[in-house]
Amino acid sequence: MSAVLDPHGQVAGDHAHDDHAHDHPHGWRRWLFATNHKDIGTLYLLFSFTMLMIGGVLALLIRAELFQPGLQIVNPQLFNQLTTMHGLIMVFGAIMPAFVGFANWMIPLQIGAGDMAFARMNNFSFWLMIPAAIMLVASFFMPGGAPAAGWTLYAPLTLQMGPSMDAGIFAMHILGASSIMGSINIIVTILNMRAPGMTLMKMPMFCWTWLITAYLLIAVMPVLAGAITMTLTDRHFGTSFFNPAGGGDPIMYQHIFWFFGHPEVYIMILPAFGIISHVVPAFARKRLFGYTSMVYATASIAILSFIVWAHHMYATGMPVTGQLFFMYATMLISVPTGVKVFNWIATMWRGSMTFETPMLFAVGFIFVFTMGGFTGLILSMAPIDIQLQDTYYVVAHFHYVLVAGSLYAMFAGAYYWLPKWTGVMYSEALGKFHFWGSLITFNVTFFPMHFLGLAGMPRRYADYPMQFTDFNMIASIGAFGFGLMQVFFFLFIVLPCMRGKGQPAPQRPWDGAEGLEWEVPSPAPFHTFETPPKLNLAATKIVG
């Protein structure tokens, strides 16, 4: 048993006796009543991985159905349920909670705080997600099946859904409440609990990106809650916010949804930027280039994300000025995003690089995410978007930024911090296999989708004209490979580490890594920084 599962195992340093001094629950009570940021972080990460697997199975059902023309496995109604639930589960169940898990584990360690500011709210925000997730997944077994209106839940199609739609809305409300509590916790922790000497502009990039992300979450989750509440009252209480039959406007739903939805995209990528900003300098053995501009770029992206939402809606028929405004604003986002990529490459430039698995994932992230960024720039052009909106080109684009972006950054972060979390080194050979396997199968899956989209294959189609067959087959084969790689990751990387099998990790397993998390032993003791540490001038080391 590793330290993650058992704080009473081999724990180095003088913190060990602290664990016994504090009486905390054991067994299942340790997890149910968890108030320790490390335990809650672990819970978040395991939960999100479970959801990743469930969402992944749905994706593979979709890909199996699309392997060839004709309906072989599911009927069109079930197909729509699969696409809808794949999206909802991956966005709200996998990517978002996973980043909260990283935040729980790493923010207190990186800023030298004893724990998160609101330990019990932290517990509550995790455990709220369990009933929500159960309700979401169980909606498949409700009369009429799961919601089938797409993860965007466009009105008035939502008005035609069965009772599972209400379950879905309720689940999203709970997940939203959980996110808001998590965000409040993160903001308060970062603003109030930094070790003396760690000014905001000396703070690690991951904390910066999460601070900004948390503000985004607080700003937009209530907007989503509003949109789906209006959907709910339209369904049951005779209102007509989005129902044209009663004078409502279905386009208003889209405006409200995307006012949430676009910042949401950055909620899912900014923490990824933060992780990459730690991994690249560590393995280039060189300080992050342009720290200040990285902070400003992150903030600019966050602010711009509020004024670009309608680029998801070019095909709804906006006036010329509307299309032009949203086109210009969207294209502008590529500037701060470009700055980030340039800064990472400048960090690598004339470094002394090695390519352990975290670095491989980070470089893979920069390379493949940028492809998603470029297709995003192309999609931002209204005339081109009119051709590509709602086709597989869009599907390819957002999987390049969400899988090759967010998920790869999380893999980079997991490999980077796994020694700190578990006290055990993962197998470098298996990690590299996971990286190359994922990189290749990912591109086999999603690259052909660009061609399908350009050729005009609409998304969310259960069956398609036969000319699209070959690329669909290639994508399906790649998808199964990609799915297997992630099972491999859990069985051969995560599980052995959690069981403590492998080389014991030193306190600082990466010689180029900087930051307070490397100032505590591996695995990180149950309690860290119970008294504020004394920091050096750069706030990267403990002195005295």
Q: Is 154 a catalytic residue?
A: no
Q: Is 15 a catalytic residue?
A: no
Q: How far is the CB of 24 from other proteins (least distance, A)?
A: 41
Q: Is 337 a catalytic residue?
A: yes
Q: Is 519 a catalytic residue?
A: no
Distance CA 275, CA 285 (A): 16
42, 158, 178, 231: the active-site residue:
178
Q: Is 286 a catalytic residue?
A: no
Q: How far is the CB of 500 from other proteins (least distance, A)?
A: 30
44, 151, 393, 416: the active-site residue:
151
Q: Is 422 a catalytic residue?
A: no
315 versus 487: smaller Cβ distance to other proteins: 315
Q: Is 420 a catalytic residue?
A: no
Q: Is 312 a catalytic residue?
A: yes
DSSP state of 396: H
Distance CA 135, CA 510 (A): 42
Are 284 and 356 in contact, with CB atoms under 8 Å apart? no
Are 34 and 46 in contact, with CB atoms under 8 Å apart? no
Q: How far is the CB of 98 from other proteins (least distance, A)?
A: 27
Q: How far is the CB of 439 from other proteins (least distance, A)?
A: 14
Distance CA 423, CA 19 (A): 17
Residue tagged 């796994």 (tokens): 418
56 versus 248: smaller Cβ distance to other proteins: 248
For 424-441, give the DSSP string.
BPPPHHHHHHHHHHHHHH
Q: How far is the CB of 78 from other proteins (least distance, A)?
A: 9
327 versus 524: smaller Cβ distance to other proteins: 327
Q: Which two tokens stand for residue 194?
A: 């930094």
Q: Which residue, 298, 259, 261, is CA-closest to 276?
A: 298
Distance CA 307, CA 326 (A): 7
39, 115, 356, 519: the active-site residue:
115
340, 420, 434, 450: the active-site residue:
340
322 versus 532: smaller Cβ distance to other proteins: 322
Q: How far is the CB of 518 from other proteins (least distance, A)?
A: 17
134 versus 328: smaller Cβ distance to other proteins: 328
Distance CA 414, CA 469 (A): 37
Q: Is 179 a catalytic residue?
A: yes
335 versus 487: smaller Cβ distance to other proteins: 335
Q: Is the dihedral of CA 42, 46, 52, 56 positive or negative?
A: positive
With a CB cutoff of 8 Å and minimum separation 6, the contacts of 242 are: 155, 156, 159, 230, 231, 234, 248, 249, 250, 252, 253
Q: Is 277 a catalytic residue?
A: yes
- Torsion (CA) 248, 253, 259, 265 in degrees, nearest 10: 180
164, 209, 337, 380: the active-site residue:
337
Distance CA 238, CA 375 (A): 42
CB burial of 41-76 (b: ≥16 within 10 Å; e: otherwise) equals bbbbbbbbbebbebbbebbbbbbebbbeeeeeebee
235, 262, 399, 434: the active-site residue:
262
147 versus 500: smaller Cβ distance to other proteins: 147
Helical spans, DSSP H, in 237-269: 250-267
Q: How far is the CB of 308 from other proteins (least distance, A)?
A: 13
Q: Which two tokens stand for residue 320?
A: 């010329």
194, 312, 399, 508: the active-site residue:
312
* Catalytic residue positions, numbered: 86, 115, 151, 178-179, 262, 264, 266, 277, 311-312, 337, 340, 459
